[in-house]
Amino acid sequence: MQSRRSMRAINTYTGSMVELGTALGMELFLYAKEIRESVDSLRRSTERLIQETVGKLFLSISNSRTDKEEREKEKRFNDWLSYSVRQVEKEMRKNLDLQVSSPPSWIFDLEEFHDWLNGNSTDGVNVLWLSGLTGFGKSVLAAYVIEELKKFASTPITYFFCKDNEFLRDAHHIMRTFLHQATISASDIRTLIKGIWEMEDEFKNLPEHG
Protein backbone atom coordinates (compact mmCIF):
# COMPACT_ATOMS: atom_id res chain seq x y z
CA MET A 1 0.00 0.00 0.00
CA GLN A 2 2.75 2.31 0.90
CA SER A 3 4.46 1.48 -2.37
CA ARG A 4 1.34 2.38 -4.31
CA ARG A 5 1.01 5.62 -2.44
CA SER A 6 4.61 6.39 -3.25
CA MET A 7 4.04 5.68 -6.95
CA ARG A 8 0.98 7.91 -6.99
CA ALA A 9 2.97 10.64 -5.30
CA ILE A 10 5.75 10.22 -7.81
CA ASN A 11 3.30 10.32 -10.71
CA THR A 12 1.58 13.37 -9.28
CA TYR A 13 4.94 15.11 -8.78
CA THR A 14 6.04 14.15 -12.27
CA GLY A 15 2.78 15.41 -13.71
CA SER A 16 3.13 18.66 -11.86
CA MET A 17 6.69 19.06 -13.11
CA VAL A 18 5.55 18.40 -16.67
CA GLU A 19 2.80 20.98 -16.34
CA LEU A 20 5.26 23.43 -14.79
CA GLY A 21 7.76 22.74 -17.55
CA THR A 22 5.07 23.20 -20.18
CA ALA A 23 3.96 26.49 -18.63
CA LEU A 24 7.53 27.74 -18.42
CA GLY A 25 8.19 26.63 -21.96
CA MET A 26 5.11 28.48 -23.16
CA GLU A 27 6.16 31.63 -21.30
CA LEU A 28 9.66 31.39 -22.74
CA PHE A 29 8.19 30.85 -26.19
CA LEU A 30 5.93 33.89 -25.86
CA TYR A 31 8.80 35.96 -24.43
CA ALA A 32 11.07 34.93 -27.30
CA LYS A 33 8.29 35.76 -29.76
CA GLU A 34 7.90 39.23 -28.24
CA ILE A 35 11.65 39.76 -28.44
CA ARG A 36 11.70 38.66 -32.08
CA GLU A 37 8.78 40.95 -32.92
CA SER A 38 10.48 43.84 -31.15
CA VAL A 39 13.71 43.18 -33.01
CA ASP A 40 11.83 42.98 -36.32
CA SER A 41 9.98 46.20 -35.54
CA LEU A 42 13.25 47.90 -34.58
CA ARG A 43 14.88 46.67 -37.79
CA ARG A 44 11.99 47.97 -39.91
CA SER A 45 12.08 51.32 -38.11
CA THR A 46 15.84 51.52 -38.60
CA GLU A 47 15.56 50.66 -42.29
CA ARG A 48 12.79 53.23 -42.75
CA LEU A 49 14.85 55.85 -40.91
CA ILE A 50 17.89 55.08 -43.07
CA GLN A 51 15.79 55.32 -46.24
CA GLU A 52 14.28 58.62 -45.14
CA THR A 53 17.69 60.00 -44.16
CA VAL A 54 19.27 58.92 -47.44
CA GLY A 55 16.30 60.34 -49.34
CA LYS A 56 16.56 63.69 -47.55
CA LEU A 57 20.33 63.74 -48.07
CA PHE A 58 19.91 63.01 -51.78
CA LEU A 59 17.24 65.71 -52.05
CA SER A 60 19.46 68.16 -50.19
CA ILE A 61 22.40 67.41 -52.50
CA SER A 62 20.13 67.69 -55.54
CA ASN A 63 18.68 71.00 -54.32
CA SER A 64 22.17 72.27 -53.51
CA ARG A 65 23.34 71.38 -57.01
CA THR A 66 20.27 73.03 -58.53
CA ASP A 67 20.76 76.16 -56.41
CA LYS A 68 24.42 76.34 -57.43
CA GLU A 69 23.54 75.97 -61.12
CA GLU A 70 20.86 78.65 -60.79
CA ARG A 71 23.27 81.03 -59.06
CA GLU A 72 25.86 80.47 -61.77
CA LYS A 73 23.25 81.06 -64.47
CA GLU A 74 22.07 84.23 -62.73
CA LYS A 75 25.66 85.49 -62.55
CA ARG A 76 26.24 84.79 -66.25
CA PHE A 77 23.03 86.62 -67.14
CA ASN A 78 23.89 89.59 -64.93
CA ASP A 79 27.40 89.76 -66.43
CA TRP A 80 25.90 89.61 -69.91
CA LEU A 81 23.31 92.28 -69.16
CA SER A 82 25.70 94.68 -67.41
CA TYR A 83 28.64 94.23 -69.79
CA SER A 84 29.07 97.98 -70.48
CA VAL A 85 27.41 99.42 -67.36
CA ARG A 86 30.62 100.09 -65.47
CA GLN A 87 32.08 102.05 -68.37
CA VAL A 88 28.83 103.98 -68.88
CA GLU A 89 28.75 104.96 -65.20
CA LYS A 90 32.39 106.00 -65.43
CA GLU A 91 31.54 108.33 -68.33
CA MET A 92 28.53 109.62 -66.38
CA ARG A 93 30.65 110.57 -63.36
CA LYS A 94 33.27 112.20 -65.56
CA ASN A 95 30.68 114.33 -67.35
CA LEU A 96 29.03 115.35 -64.08
CA ASP A 97 32.39 116.41 -62.64
CA LEU A 98 32.91 118.73 -65.61
CA GLN A 99 29.79 120.76 -64.76
CA VAL A 100 30.17 121.19 -61.02
CA SER A 101 31.10 124.86 -61.24
CA SER A 102 28.72 125.71 -64.07
CA PRO A 103 25.80 123.28 -64.56
CA PRO A 104 23.95 123.74 -67.88
CA SER A 105 20.63 124.49 -66.21
CA TRP A 106 19.68 126.76 -69.13
CA ILE A 107 18.42 123.67 -70.98
CA PHE A 108 15.30 123.68 -68.75
CA ASP A 109 14.45 127.19 -69.95
CA LEU A 110 14.11 126.15 -73.59
CA GLU A 111 10.60 125.75 -74.97
CA GLU A 112 11.77 122.94 -77.24
CA PHE A 113 13.07 121.02 -74.24
CA HIS A 114 9.75 121.34 -72.38
CA ASP A 115 7.83 120.24 -75.46
CA TRP A 116 10.00 117.15 -75.65
CA LEU A 117 9.78 116.51 -71.93
CA ASN A 118 5.98 116.82 -71.90
CA GLY A 119 5.49 114.86 -75.12
CA ASN A 120 4.05 117.85 -77.00
CA SER A 121 5.40 116.82 -80.36
CA THR A 122 3.51 118.16 -83.39
CA ASP A 123 4.70 115.44 -85.79
CA GLY A 124 4.07 112.46 -83.52
CA VAL A 125 7.79 111.77 -83.03
CA ASN A 126 9.00 112.79 -79.59
CA VAL A 127 12.72 113.25 -80.19
CA LEU A 128 15.02 116.04 -79.02
CA TRP A 129 18.07 116.13 -81.27
CA LEU A 130 21.13 118.04 -80.08
CA SER A 131 24.08 118.33 -82.43
CA GLY A 132 27.50 119.90 -82.10
CA LEU A 133 31.18 119.47 -82.79
CA THR A 134 33.43 117.19 -80.75
CA GLY A 135 34.10 118.83 -77.39
CA PHE A 136 31.08 121.11 -77.62
CA GLY A 137 29.63 119.58 -74.42
CA LYS A 138 26.84 117.30 -75.64
CA SER A 139 27.74 114.51 -73.22
CA VAL A 140 28.08 116.95 -70.32
CA LEU A 141 24.65 118.38 -71.11
CA ALA A 142 23.16 114.89 -71.43
CA ALA A 143 24.61 113.86 -68.05
CA TYR A 144 23.08 116.93 -66.42
CA VAL A 145 19.64 116.27 -67.92
CA ILE A 146 19.78 112.61 -66.89
CA GLU A 147 20.70 113.47 -63.31
CA GLU A 148 17.91 116.06 -63.07
CA LEU A 149 15.29 113.76 -64.57
CA LYS A 150 16.16 111.05 -62.06
CA LYS A 151 14.93 113.35 -59.29
CA PHE A 152 11.29 113.38 -60.39
CA ALA A 153 10.78 110.86 -63.19
CA SER A 154 8.32 108.06 -62.44
CA THR A 155 9.69 105.79 -65.16
CA PRO A 156 13.18 104.31 -65.61
CA ILE A 157 15.79 106.62 -67.15
CA THR A 158 18.04 104.83 -69.64
CA TYR A 159 21.17 106.37 -71.10
CA PHE A 160 24.42 105.57 -72.85
CA PHE A 161 27.58 107.43 -73.83
CA CYS A 162 29.04 106.26 -77.13
CA LYS A 163 32.82 106.15 -77.34
CA ASP A 164 35.30 104.40 -79.59
CA ASN A 165 36.25 101.55 -77.25
CA GLU A 166 35.29 97.91 -76.85
CA PHE A 167 32.52 98.65 -74.34
CA LEU A 168 30.82 101.74 -75.78
CA ARG A 169 30.76 101.49 -79.55
CA ASP A 170 28.45 98.66 -80.64
CA ALA A 171 24.66 98.49 -80.87
CA HIS A 172 24.45 95.46 -78.57
CA HIS A 173 26.38 97.42 -75.91
CA ILE A 174 23.73 100.14 -76.05
CA MET A 175 20.75 97.78 -75.93
CA ARG A 176 22.10 95.63 -73.11
CA THR A 177 22.81 98.72 -71.02
CA PHE A 178 19.32 100.08 -71.67
CA LEU A 179 17.83 96.74 -70.63
CA HIS A 180 19.96 96.60 -67.48
CA GLN A 181 18.89 100.11 -66.47
CA ALA A 182 15.23 99.32 -67.18
CA THR A 183 15.28 96.17 -65.03
CA ILE A 184 16.83 97.71 -61.91
CA SER A 185 13.38 98.53 -60.51
CA ALA A 186 11.28 96.12 -62.57
CA SER A 187 11.77 92.45 -61.70
CA ASP A 188 9.06 91.33 -64.15
CA ILE A 189 10.96 92.90 -67.04
CA ARG A 190 14.16 91.24 -65.85
CA THR A 191 12.45 87.84 -65.75
CA LEU A 192 11.14 88.35 -69.28
CA ILE A 193 14.55 89.35 -70.63
CA LYS A 194 16.25 86.44 -68.86
CA GLY A 195 13.79 84.02 -70.47
CA ILE A 196 14.66 85.38 -73.92
CA TRP A 197 18.36 85.22 -73.10
CA GLU A 198 18.05 81.57 -72.09
CA MET A 199 16.30 80.65 -75.35
CA GLU A 200 18.41 82.64 -77.81
CA ASP A 201 21.91 81.18 -78.20
CA GLU A 202 23.09 84.13 -80.27
CA PHE A 203 22.62 86.40 -77.25
CA LYS A 204 24.68 84.08 -75.04
CA ASN A 205 27.55 84.26 -77.52
CA LEU A 206 27.95 87.98 -76.91
CA PRO A 207 30.72 88.90 -74.43
CA GLU A 208 29.78 88.58 -70.76
CA HIS A 209 32.68 90.12 -68.92
CA GLY A 210 33.74 93.71 -69.04
Give the Cα separation of 130 and 107 in Å (integer): 11
The residue type of 168 is L
Give the Cα separation of 160 and 179 in Å (integer): 11
Query: CB 108: neighbour CB atoms within 10 A?
Result: 12
Which tens digits make up the pLDDT trace of 89-140? 999 999 999 998 899 999 999 988 988 888 877 777 788 888 888 888 999 9
DSSP, collapsed to helix, strand or coil, labels residue 105 as helix
Which tens digits make up the pLDDT trace of 33-72? 676 777 677 788 777 877 777 666 666 665 666 788 888 8
Query: CB 161: neighbour CB atoms within 10 A?
Result: 21
Which tens digits make up the pLDDT trace of 156-195? 889 999 988 888 989 989 999 999 998 887 888 888 888 8
Q: How large is the C-alpha radius of gyration of the chain?
A: 43
Domain edges within the chain: 1-72, 82-204
Q: Where are the alpha helices (DSSP H) in the chain?
A: 2-81, 85-97, 111-117, 138-149, 171-183, 187-199, 201-204
Its pTM stands at: 0.62
